[in-house]
Structure 1
Amino acid sequence: MGLVFSLPEEAVAAIGQNLGSSGWLLIDQKRIDTFAEATGDHQWIHVDPVLAKDGPFGTTVAHGCLTFSLINGFLPELFKAEGMKMGINYGCDRLRFPAPVPVNSKVRAVGELVHAELLAGNAVQTTVRVTIEIEGSTKPGCVADMVGRYYF
């Protein structure tokens, strides 16, 4: 577990802290196809292994937005507010997809608390930079600055 905090001031005091990494997750074709079905994005580079074999990546690749959406599942392994009354996903300040995530790759999240500020009403707004690493790759599949609000 990365950072666990139970007071807004504890988050502010931890600015700059490396939050460690999550466990690895396999990105198989079934996950990619399920995401395509849910979003209506059936572009061949994602869902057609035969065409993708001769495409720019040599195989199917995960949708960028699929890779991004995994952050919500990984984040509790990196950053947790205990005893809060409510937490909300406030948004994303920065989002990039530096490298494609090939089918059957494993990915994990690495985090850093880059900003935290106290809000009125015993709350804190945080920005956690989450990097989705691809096992065996020097470039990440996604980098996002996730903004959250936690009310105590």
Structure 2
Amino acid sequence: MTTTTTFDELPSLVGTDLGYTEYVTVTQDRVNLFAEAANDGQWIHTDPERAASGPFGGAIAHGFLTLSLTIPFWTELLEVEGVTAKVNYGLDKVRFINPVRVGSRIRMTATIASVEEVKGGLQINVDQTVEIEGQERPALISRGIHRFYA
């Protein structure tokens, strides 16, 4: 469920748990497309037959593919009305905790850690975790930094 708020209400959301996104299945086709775009065709990602005897027992998604999915996940969690621009400003504290095997389903949960004023707008820092369905350890944790301009 998406949290909808206004620019002026953003500071009041510090500490708010935004809930969970829908699950996304990480397919071999998605991994192959990412490998092509990133020029990273390492066999643990793109060769399922060879990867089956590799260290993870099958092909895994690129860590940066999983990280890139935080952007569409993010749009499922928060909608800010009354802004002229929304900017993905960066990331802090990115850690790839657990590999995502091809065929796994992942989702994201996030909590607004802080909101601060920046020239012309507000910056929010969001603690985000990408979970793997059925796994105790998450795929990744990071702090997303987003800016909203009024």
- Give TM class, smaller chain: over 0.9
**Contact 1:4–1:80 (CA under 8 A) maintained in structure 2:** yes
Aligned to 1:82: 81
Aligned to 2:14: 15
For structure 2, the 5+ residue unaligned runs are none
Aligned to 2:140: 142
Deviations 1:29-67 (A, max 9, x none): 000001001111011110111111111110000000000
**Contact 2:116–2:123 (CA under 8 A) maintained in structure 1:** yes
How far apart in 2 are the matches of 1:91 and 1:114?
15
| 3-state DSSP of counterpart to 1:45 | helix
- Give runs of ≥4 in structure 1 deviating > 6 Å: none
| 3-state DSSP of counterpart to 1:110 | strand
How far apart in 2 are the matches of 1:63 and 1:89?
21
Q: How many residues align?
A: 150
Deviations 1:115-148 (A, max 9, x none): 1112343x21001111110000011111111101
**Contact 1:2–1:18 (CA under 8 A) maintained in structure 2:** no
For structure 1, the 5+ residue unaligned runs are none
1:124 matched to 2:126? no
Aligned to 1:25: 24
Kindly report the root-mean-square deviation, in angstroms, between the aligned alpha carbons of the 2 structures: 1.1
The offset of 1:2, in angstroms, is 4.0
**Contact 2:7–2:148 (CA under 8 A) maintained in structure 1:** no
How far apart in 2 are the matches of 1:56 and 1:134?
18
Residue identity matched to 1:70: L
State the percentage of identical aligned residues: 39
How far apart in 2 are the matches of 1:27 and 1:52?
16
